[in-house]
Structure 1
Amino acid sequence: MDIGLMLILLAMGAGGGFAAGLLGIGGGMVLVPFITMIFTAKGFPPELVVHMAIATSLATIMFTSLSSVRAHHRHGAVRWRIVALLAPGIAAGAMLGPWIGKQMNTCAQSLLFSAFVAFSAVQMLRSRHLSAGRELPGTPGMIAAGGVIGTMAGLVGAGGGFISVPFMAWCNVRIHQAVATSAALGFPIALFGTVSNIYVGWAAPGLPAHSLGFVYLPALLVIAAASVTMAPLGARLAHKMDVASLKRVFAVVLFALAAYMFYHALA
């Protein structure tokens, strides 16, 4: 790997890690578009570019999540009971998501990424009055919600915060706690999603050297090294920002990334 590419990947990892700590999105929403650009520039097979970007991004979240959740936990913001209730569905969904993604072509995956990210941004910007009586669903409902979060996260290579944060906020979980809890959910999503991406991509034709299934190991190692350093900084900043500002930051980031992936699909 040349030094220029390594510096770019380090910068991406730093930005993704910071976003993971600040927004609870696992960094994947930030990383997928940029990894897509890099893999395209490196001449990876076009039919594999988005699959590999999503898989590599998801794998980095294993490291980023552990780093950011430690900082959030120190503030007492992680709702561990919510993590426990969502985890079974998340594990199953994160295994299923990459398999579904393998059945889709690059254009379809890019459009799916764009649509769900834009939807998430709109949800975060909507000014809705919270219902005092609205609460988190019971155990079956939480497992089902975890399945949806895990499946979509596995499909788009993110930590699930683009669904789990709005879902928890809708259920009257404070935004700072929702972000912190989403960071904790990133690890099981990334772990099971990565195992699935290795399995479904193992025999894919045209994989570049140093790939483990759809995961490109050189990019994973460099990005992870930078992201674990910056994630705690983002987490500390999250606890100093007001709710409205945090939502606006979340939404602006998501809109920008949705626009790029929509352009990539059309191109």
Structure 2
Amino acid sequence: MEDLSLFSLGILAAALLATGVVAGIVAGLLGVGGGIVIVPVLYYMFTALKIDPAVLMHVAVGTSLATILATGTSSARSHYKRGSVDMDLLKRWWWAIALGVIAGATLAGNISGGALTLVFGFVALAVSANMMFRKDGANLADKLPGSPVKEVLGFLIGGISVMMGIGGGTLGVPTLTLFNYPIRKAVGTAAAIGLIIAVPGTAMSIWFGLGADNLPPLSLGYVNLVGFLLIIPASTLSAPLGAKIAHTIDPSKLKLVFALFLGFTGLRMIYGVLF
């Protein structure tokens, strides 16, 4: 890692704080835990800082999961106060999501950084396409399927999300709305799912990263404490604002812009690994 001047460190700190603000608002607005913003930003920042590519994506994912502990708590609390968290569903679904998290985190801890980057890139493209091209009201069914399909869906949401370093909203919201869930309740419930993902996901990122070579300075396993401490305050304070906006405006135009950002990011990550 190259030495940084005080000016460069100041720019980096400001960028991380700004990332936290944007991530917090997005977490509250779309129920995505902020990780879908944090991971690519950390990925590019760590690339610029010459962090070893072998651990770069692992640290971006682990650090993002750690920030969701705070961002997701703030966002879920805000939605819960508004009655938009489906506690009955969470009571029936949490264990399948948690099993998926354990499986996904174990796989993530044992594959290369390039493979982990490809997972993020391809899923980001799929999510972007869903946001741009899926028509409002296009549902697969009028309600969630019964067992065991419902549990398989929860397992996949947990497993894929933890490998991407994201909260449950990126996959949880489109999944729930496919089964005719009201969008605001889907967003609120997905924010709570983010905590089910982030708690074991963070712990396992720390565990698998202990003793890894060429980690960034001040890292605890695959969780970089500098990024964590800079992003957390901004994201935690801004998450309730996003939740408030979600209940007052039509976010369709914002979702389109976000989908374009996500598609571009996915393509750039895939290109960087394969070419």
TM-score (normalised: structure 1): 0.92
Task: Give the equivalent residue in structure 1 for 2:174.
Answer: 166
The offset of 1:103, in angstroms, is 2.8
In 2: Cα distance, 1:190 partner to 1:155 partner: 11
Structure 2 residue corresponding to 1:34, chosen from 35, 41, 50: 41
**Cα gap change, 1:243/1:15 in structure 2, threshold over 3 Å: closer, same or farther?**
closer
In 2: Cα distance, 1:15 partner to 1:126 partner: 25
Could you tell which deviates more after superposition, 129-138 or 201-210? Answer: 129-138
Task: Give the equivalent residue in structure 1 for 2:3.
Answer: none
In structure 2, stretches of 5+ residues that fail to align are: 1-5
**Cα gap change, 1:133/1:219 in structure 2, threshold over 3 Å: closer, same or farther?**
closer
In 2: Cα distance, 1:46 partner to 1:266 partner: 14
- Contact residue 141 and residue 179 of structure 2 kept, 8 A: no
- Contact residue 139 and residue 177 of structure 2 kept, 8 A: no
Helix, strand or coil for the counterpart of 2:214?
coil
In 2: Cα distance, 1:84 partner to 1:254 partner: 31
- Contact residue 141 and residue 178 of structure 2 kept, 8 A: no
Task: Give the equivalent residue in structure 2 for 1:181.
Answer: 189
Structure 2 residue corresponding to 1:192, chosen from 185, 200, 204: 200
Helix, strand or coil for the counterpart of 2:167?
coil
Task: Give the equivalent residue in structure 2 for 1:4.
Answer: 11
Could you tell which deviates more after superposition, 122-131 or 195-204? Answer: 122-131
**Residue 98 of structure 1 aligns to which amino acid in structure 2?**
A
**Residue 126 of structure 2 aligns to which amino acid in structure 1?**
F
In 1: Cα distance, 2:184 partner to 2:258 partner: 12
Matches within 5 A, 1:87-236: 87-124=94-131, 125-127=133-135, 129-130=137-138, 134-236=142-244
Could you tell which deviates more after superposition, 181-190 or 108-117? Answer: 108-117
Task: Give the equivalent residue in structure 2 for 1:61.
Answer: 68
**Cα gap change, 1:47/1:74 in structure 2, threshold over 3 Å: closer, same or farther?**
same
**Residue 90 of structure 1 aligns to which amino acid in structure 2?**
I
Matches within 5 A, 1:37-52: 37-52=44-59
The offset of 1:245, in angstroms, is 4.1
Task: Give the equivalent residue in structure 2 for 1:21.
Answer: 28
In structure 1, stretches of 5+ residues that fail to align are: none
1:239 and 2:239 matched = no
**Superposition RMSD in Å:** 2.1
- Contact residue 29 and residue 257 of structure 1 kept, 8 A: no
- Contact residue 85 and residue 139 of structure 1 kept, 8 A: no
